[in-house]
């Protein structure tokens, strides 16, 4: 098993389980689970997660279904957002 921290922001916050603190939930997944597996577990639509960040580093769409999550990873997701 691997334990990761899953963070959802902006309009994706609605997919957090009740009682989640600071946009974040700790999740246990089986070895080899991917970011898409993690999103599916919380029913986050794949099309809505525009910005996917692992430990602060952008994960390109092609790696979201292949990269195996590591113990201690922090995965953060945003819908399309911008500012300035």
Per-residue contact flags (x/-) with other proteins for residues 37 to 76, judged by CB under 8 A? -------------xx-x-xxxx-x---------------x
Judged by beta carbon, residue 1 or residue 82, the one nearer other proteins is: 82
Contacts (Cβ under 8 Å, ≥6 apart) of 61: 52
Alpha carbon distance 18, 32 (integer Å): 27
Chain residues that interact with other proteins, rule: CB under 8 A: 7, 9-11, 13, 22-23, 50-51, 53, 55-58, 60, 76, 78-84
């Amino acid at each position: 098993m691997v334990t990761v921290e899953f963070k959802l922001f902006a309009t994706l916050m609605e997919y957090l389980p009740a009682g989640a603190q600071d946009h974040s939930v700790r999740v246990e997944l089986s070895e080899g689970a991917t970011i898409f597996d993690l999103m599916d577990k919380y029913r986050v639509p794949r099309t809505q997660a525009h910005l996917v960040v692992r430990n602060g580093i952008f994960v390109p769409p092609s790696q979201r279904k292949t990269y195996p999550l590591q113990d201690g990873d922090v995965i953060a997701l945003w819908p399309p957002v911008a500012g300035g």
